[in-house]
Amino acid sequence: MRILVGVLICSAGALAQQVERGDTLYQQQCAGCHALKGKGTAVGPDLNGMARLTSQAIAMAVRSTATQYVQSVKLKAGDTIVGMPGPKDDKTVSFWDLGKKPPELRKMDKGDVAASTNTDAWKHPPAEAKIEAEQLADIVAYIKYTATGSKRAVSPDEVK
C-alpha cells in the first residue's frame, strides 16, 4: 500500500478490510439514524445519495452539527424531547426521540404537544464523538463502496 498525492493505492484485500471496518463502524455510529442500501433506520437523511459526493464532502457531513430538522418538543405533561419529525395525520404527530439509542419513534396526540421549535442544542453523534480520521476514512469508504460500488480506498488524509 502507498499514498500517491493523497490517494490511497492498495490491494483489493486492503480495500475489503477497510470496507469491513467501515461496515462495523457504520453499524455502531450511523445505522441508528441513517439508511444505506436497506441497512439502518431512515430517521435522518438516506446516505445513498451522499456516496456520489467527494470523500471530503462526506466527511464534512459526518462532522456536521446541522440541526435544521431537529426540534425541541415540549409536551403538556411537562417533559421535553429532542427529536426529528416523523409521520403525522390529522390527530397525531410523531417524533424520533434522539435521546434514545437508537432513536425511538414516539407517536402522540397533537393536543399533547405544548410547543415545538427548532433547536441547535443537539449535536450529530459522530461530530460530538470527534471520530478519528482513520475511522472516518473507513466509514466513507464503506458508504462509497456500498452505494456506488467504488473500488477505491479512502486515505485518512482525504477526510481530515
Q: Is residue 114 domain-shared with residue 151, that is, in the same domain?
A: no
Does residue 67 surpass a pLDDT of 90?
no
55, pLDDT greater than 70: yes
What's the pTM? 0.81
The residue-averaged pLDDT of 43-57 equals 92
Residues 101 and 133 in one domain: no
Percent of the chain exceeding pLDDT 70 equals: 93
Say yes or no to pLDDT of 5 above 80. Answer: no
Domain identity same for 97 and 52: no
Instruction: Give all strands of the β-sheet with 80-85 in edge-to-edge order.
Output: 104-109, 92-97, 80-85, 71-75, 113-118
- Structural domain including 39 reads 2-65+127-159
pLDDT of residue 120: 83
Does one domain contain both 6 and 24?
yes
Q: Which residues contact 79 (CB under 8 A, 6 or more apart)?
A: none
85 and 47, same structural domain? Answer: no
Are residues 37 and 92 located together in one domain of the fold?
no
For residues 60 and 77, membership in a common domain is answered with: no
Please give the pLDDT value at position 9. Answer: 47
Per-residue DSSP letters for 68-85? TT-EEEEETTS-EEEEEE
Number of domains in the chain: 2
Smallest CA-to-CA distance from 107 within 94, 96, 119, 116 is with 94
Higher pLDDT, 10 or 103: 103
Residues 14, 36, single domain; the answer is yes
Do 78 and 152 lie in a common domain? no
Domain holding 8: CATH number?
1.10.760.10
Confidence band (pLDDT; 50, 70, 90) for 11?
A: low
For residue 54, the model assigns a pLDDT of 96
> What tens digit of pLDDT does each residue of 78-121 get?
999 999 999 889 999 999 999 888 899 999 999 999 999 998 88
